[in-house]
């Protein structure tokens, strides 16, 4: 039986991921929207505390593994949905996992470092993309990843972010660098970097829908679920 496709929206904070993921979810024939981190699960609750309470101490490796463990909590559900012929739209996933931890490694010693990370010297595995990807190996791989990018200057004009651990201008610049580093290095045809600069919400939606339909990502497919 043909299965649904797994479509991931990645991007910087306030790039429009949640807005566009909700749009795609309403547009695809039969689909479910899953957001990571999913803060409602047992591990998601710890992640939520970590993100919202800056005095909550957790070493960077543990935090990294928890974000991955949170994805594993939803592994079965995602597979079942796809196999039932449903599309699954993801709002963040493994690339956020790699980019944020890598950014912590590269942010070492800069102002605000003790907030975004556990502080102190960073071990070299946090700068090692293979190590960072390791815990996600075996999870379903998105059939299409759309990475939304635009200038940080334009992003900063959007409705302000809250007060969570990583919501800090200088750190976000590092996250952007890390995202582009890992996504362009991948040379993976399922990953598409989409420049959404200067486009309003409807224009971005139209652009994403055009990409999805032109490549047949709105149709059920007869392939097994690919793995990370």
Q: Which residues bind Mg ion (CB under 5 A)?
A: 17-18
Dihedrals phi, psi of 119, to nearest 5 degrees: 75, 180
- Per the DSSP assignment, residues forming a β-bridge with 9 are 91, 146
Footprint of ligand TMP on 163-222 (CB under 6 A): 166
H and E: helices and strands count for the chain: 10, 5
Sequence-distant (6+) residues with CB within 8 A of 9 are 17, 20, 21, 24, 89, 90, 91, 92, 146, 148, 208
Residue whose CB is less far from Mg ion, 18 or 192: 18
- Contact segment (CB under 6 A) with ligand TMP among 94-102, 105-113, 180-188, 212-220 equals 94-102
Site map for ligand ADP, 88-127, x if CB under 6 A?
----------------------------------------
**Are 175 and 98 spatial neighbours (Cβ–Cβ below 8 Å)?**
no
Residue 18 to residue 81: CA distance in whole angstroms: 20
The encoded tokens of residue 165 equal 């651990």
Q: For residue 41, what are the CA distances in angstroms to 2, 24, 74, 228?
A: 30, 24, 9, 22
Q: Where are the alpha helices (DSSP H) in 57-142?
A: 60-73, 75-83, 94-106, 113-116, 129-133
The single residue among 82, 144, 204, 208 that binds ligand ADP, judged by CB under 6 A, is 204
128 binds ligand ADP (CB under 6 A): no
Footprint of ligand ADP on 131-190 (CB under 6 A): 158-159
36 binds ligand TMP (CB under 6 A): yes
- Contact segment (CB under 6 A) with ligand TMP among 4-12, 90-98, 120-128, 208-216 equals 90-98
Residue whose CB is less far from ligand ADP, 9 or 126: 9
19 binds ligand ADP (CB under 6 A): yes
37 binds ligand TMP (CB under 6 A): yes
- Greatest C-alpha distance within the chain: 53
List contacts with ligand TMP (CB under 6 A).
Answer: 36-37, 51, 67, 92, 96-97, 100, 166
List contacts with ligand ADP (CB under 6 A).
Answer: 11, 13-19, 158-159, 196, 199-201, 204
């Amino acid at each position: 039986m043909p299965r649904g496709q797994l479509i991931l929206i990645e991007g910087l904070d306030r790039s429009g991921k949640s807005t566009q993921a909700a749009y795609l979810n309403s547009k695809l024939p039969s689909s479910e929207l899953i957001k990571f981190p999913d803060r409602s699960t047992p591990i998601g609750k710890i992640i939520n505390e970590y993100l919202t309470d800056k005095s909550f101490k957790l070493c960077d490796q543990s935090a990294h593994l928890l974000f991955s463990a949170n994805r594993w909590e939803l592994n079965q559900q995602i597979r079942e949905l796809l196999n039932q012929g449903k599309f699954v739209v993801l709002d963040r996933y493994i690339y956020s996992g790699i980019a944020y931890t890598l950014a912590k490694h590269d942010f070492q010693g800069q102002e605000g470092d003790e907030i975004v990370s556990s502080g102190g010297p960073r071990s070299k595995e946090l700068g090692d993309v293979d190590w960072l990807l390791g815990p996600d190996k075996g999870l379903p791989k998105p059939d299409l990843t759309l990475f939304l990018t635009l200038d940080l200057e334009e992003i900063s004009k959007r409705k302000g972010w809250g007060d969570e651990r990583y919501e800090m201008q200088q750190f976000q610049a590092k996250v952007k660098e890390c995202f582009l580093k890992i996504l362009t290095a991948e040379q993976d045809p399922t990953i598409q970097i989409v420049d959404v600069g200067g486009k309003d919400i409807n224009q971005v939606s139209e652009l994403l829908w055009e990409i999805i339909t032109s490549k047949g990502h709105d149709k059920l497919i007869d392939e097994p679920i690919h793995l990370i």
